[in-house]
Amino acid sequence: MSCRCHALTRPFVAFSTGFQSTRAGPGLSAGSHAPSSSPGSPGKCYTAAFTISTSESAQGAVKRNVMPKTVDGQITMEKTPSYFVTNEAPKRIHSMAKDIKLIVVVRNPVTRAISDYTQTLSKKPEIPTFEVLAFKNRTLGLIDASWSAIRIGLYALHLENWLQFFPLSQILFVSGERLIVDPAGEMAKVQDFLGLTRVVTEKHFYFNKTKGFPCLKKPEDSGAPRCLGKSKGRTHPRIDPDVIHRLRKFYKPFNVMFYQMTGQDFQWEQEEVDK
């Protein structure tokens, strides 16, 4: 997303646990993302992804060198979902920039797990059913927390790892649910967190009924709106209600712990009651 920015002395990293499948692995390779504007162009935010080396030597210097250079009026944003669930990531990011700001997008872990499975199913239609993968023993109701689609939703456990290196004041948690129904409201929190003037407002969004997600209007009608790609907003497969019920029970204590740790009630349990 393209936006006007104000000077900020620190970069920030964004993790989205909710809207795409995330797979953490050794080395934490993020791949390459083309920047939305070239380094040196004032008044722009741009993104870049980099690989966190497995080498412990000079990690901070290496990671800083692969980040785009910025000038006054620019902010560098790095975004890779798998960082949040990778054990080595907090230490290595901390070695790069101790005062970095972190933004984490989270959503109901049950819905997140089904979305993750749906994404994988679209690429590998031969995989077992969600019900088979979610349980170690369905008769006994034993959830398989080693399956990444389930494990990623244990937000409290992942956050404990990050809090060993970063204070809570440097982390903003964005609600994936509210980001859909009130994108301007969530973006206001992001802009405040980054010390920016609230430039992105309600007028920059419209709701795409076909996809079921908001789209971002480009400034001054400079081009077509930015909407989620074809890989997003897929129809989820039908999951046995008993499986969903068991998953809700499984996640509930972890959700409560996460609410207490962040000081935010994401109301995922209430959301499930309302359905």
Question: How many whole angstroms separate alpha carbon 240 and alpha carbon 255?
Answer: 22
The per-residue pLDDT for range 155-211, each reduced to its tens digit, is 999 999 999 999 999 999 999 999 999 999 999 999 999 999 999 899 989 888 777
Task: Tell me the binding residues for 3'-phosphoadenylyl sulfate.
Answer: 107, 115, 232-236
| pTM summary value | 0.77
22 neighbors 152 (Cβ within 8 angstroms): yes
Task: Tell me the binding residues.
Answer: 107, 115, 232-236
Contacts of 140 (CB under 8 A, 6+ apart): none
Question: How many whole angstroms separate alpha carbon 133 and alpha carbon 116?
Answer: 12
Domains and CATH numbers, the chain: 12-262 (3.40.50.300)
> What pLDDT tens digit does each residue of the chain (275 aa) get?
333 333 334 567 777 775 443 333 222 222 223 333 333 343 444 444 444 444 444 455 555 666 667 777 777 888 888 999 999 999 999 998 899 999 999 999 999 999 999 999 999 999 999 999 999 999 999 999 999 999 999 999 999 999 999 999 999 999 999 999 999 999 999 999 999 999 989 998 988 877 778 888 876 666 677 787 665 666 788 999 999 999 999 999 999 999 999 999 999 988 655 55
